[in-house]
Amino acid sequence: MSCEEETAELLRRAGHKMTPQRLLILRALRHAGGHVSAARITEQVRETYPFVDISTVYRTLDVLKRMRLATVTDMGSGDAMFEWAPEQPHHHLICAACGHTEQLDHSYLDLLADHITRDFGFEPDLHHFAIFGLCSECRAGDME
């Protein structure tokens, strides 16, 4: 069974219809190789299925996000960026000055999640997000 077939079966079991548009959206996201906007996914799907509406793309991405098959993050571009959910959660450090992005391992946030749960009785969803700040090069440039 292909990866798309497995995901389609997950969606069906969760009560969602598997339409040709959804399958194309799923395939575009899964094979994007990283973060991609809904507009880019729409463009890609329209190459095969010209009548897909961007609202269909957003609804499908929302379903995938709620099922934890996709993540959504503000990467600082002003547009929500979607990514096929990696097996291991990861995060991003994004320089607000130059835009340089570093990947941050989830282990850095384990302690934070433990403290939030202990102190507030709140279980945070730290699955995927971006932390903005200044990279070492931009900080060095500010000090000169």
Q: What is the pLDDT of residue 1?
A: 60
Query: What is the average pLDDT score of the chain?
Result: 85
Strand-strand pairing, 90-95 and 101-105:
antiparallel
Domains of the chain, first to last: 3-84 (1.10.10.10), 90-143 (3.30.1490.190)
For 65, the enclosing helix (H) or strand (E) is helix 54-66
Q: How confident is the model at residue 122 (pLDDT cuts 50, 70, 90)?
A: very high
Q: What is the pLDDT of residue 37?
A: 93
Reported as a single tens digit per residue, the pLDDT across 44-78 is 999 999 999 999 999 999 988 888 888 888 777 77
